[in-house]
Amino acid sequence: MHHFDVETLTAGRWRNGGGATRQIVSRPVGSEEFGWRASVADIDRDGPFSAFPGVDRTLTLLAGDGVRLACPGVFDRLLDRAGAPFAFSGDLELAAELPGGSCRVLNLMVRRGRWAARVERVTGRVVPPAGHAGVLYVLGGRWQAGPDGRALTSGQGVWWDEDAGASGGAVTPLSPDAAALWADVTPTG
């Protein structure tokens, strides 16, 4: 398992100036076309949301009052509950509106036909299934990654590749207020 702390990841500004992204992981390494990717985005202002043709996305509010994603005739959705994932097609041309100011989101993207993803809020032990990749992002409380792993707190987490997932051990809550997002990423092709 690979540890990360969002605050130590390099932030890259968006081309449209509406936010910044801190990449947690992108696989395969060095490829211009990712198979799957996880990042944390700070959305600073209203504006267009980049389309990613052939990609399925899951966005989860981490902090702030939320973001409204709208695609005329398809959906208009306000993500205003932290830890509640929302999956949608990256093919869509979306507009983002920040009704309460800037916010932070976890953004998981998978290349359709090669990967599938499920993101859920968890409070109990997570054991990565063999052959699956994934990310665990701590929302609150304390967690431990692996039998001898260090404690993880809010904004920290771990990720793993599909060939190393099960051998990395479990991620276990250490406090009664422990909550995390688990992105289970499965190869499909």
* CA–CA gap between residue 17 and residue 58 (Å, rounded): 22
Position 5: which residue type?
D
Residues paired with 4 in a beta bridge: 157
Residue 168, pLDDT > 70, answer no
Percent of the chain residues past pLDDT 90, beyond the cut: 74
* CA–CA gap between residue 4 and residue 106 (Å, rounded): 14
* CA–CA gap between residue 66 and residue 55 (Å, rounded): 23
Tokens of 127: 């054991």
Vertex 67 angle, CA 63 and 68, to 5°:
160
Q: What is the sign of the dihedral through the CA atoms of 70, 72, 16 and 135?
A: positive
Do the Cβ atoms of 65 and 93 come closer than 8 Å?
no
* CA–CA gap between residue 97 and residue 78 (Å, rounded): 9
Q: Is the pTM of this model over 0.85?
A: yes
Mean pLDDT in residue range 165-172: 71
**Predicted pLDDT at 72:** 87
